[in-house]
A = this chain, B = another copy of it.
Amino acid sequence: MPQTKGDATRRAILEEALQLASVVGLDGLTIGTLAKKLELSKSGLFRHFGSKEALQKAVIETGAEHFIQLVVRPVMIMDSGAEAMPALFEGWLEWSVERMAGGCLFVTAAVEFDDRPGPVRDQVVALQREWLGFIAATAGRAVESGDFRSDLDLRQFAHDFNAILLGFNQVRRLLRDPDAEPRARRAFERLLADAHTVEP
């Protein structure tokens, strides 16, 4: 189905909005600030999105599409369960460092919406559950291939993997500490070593 000009404009707006939201948060992303940045009229933006909440949801969905494309899909099609886990880790680092101007959007969204019931929170929760489920499933593939030990607690592994990413994001974004990445890598290596079957 060919894209209309309106679709292409909407898409271009969402790409800018995604980067802006990663820096100022989804709440900082007002139709006013976005209009100013894009040199568009506020009424034009309203025509595209209708409300701040609709804009927030569309930005999160845009982020999720990019995330799946960059981080999830390459791992899904990998043959080796053992190689999939390091690829997932590297993919997330690339997402957070290279693709998001202000660090991972979902880390920010989790804090902004954890106490605010409503459709945006529901969307963030659903994506976070999907993400933790995908980490656990990827670890499960490594168990099936015999690379990870058979008694590995997949949900615990996913929890620990996620915590490493959160630690990295905070130390990098808040403290601007160049050791954030080597420390996250060491933590990940320890997690992997604990999950791997003992070498014969």
Contact = CB atoms under 8 A, between A and B. Distances in A.
A74 to B, nearest CB: 24
A170 interface: yes
B171 A167 contact: no
Contacts of A166: 163, 166-167, 170
A167 B162 contact: yes
Contacts of A190: 160, 194
Chain A at the B interface: SS class: helix
Interface in A134-182: 153, 155-156, 159-160, 162-164, 166-168, 170-171, 173-175, 179
Interface stretch (A23-31, A32-40, A77-85): A23-31
B174 A170 contact: no
Nearest to A158: B183
Contacts of A174: 110, 113-114, 124-125, 128
Interface stretch (A9-17, A57-65, A101-109): A101-109
Contact of A156 (B28, B129, B162, B183): B183
Interface in A35-88: none
A140 to B, nearest CB: 17
A97 interface: no
Nearest to A111: B111
A7 interface: no
Given A167-B159, A183-B155, A175 B111 contact: no
Contacts of A24: 115
A112 interface: yes
A52 B184 CA distance: 35
Interface of A: 23-25, 27-28, 102-103, 107-108, 110-115, 124-125, 128-129, 153, 155-156, 159-160, 162-164, 166-168, 170-171, 173-175, 179, 183-184, 186-187, 190, 194
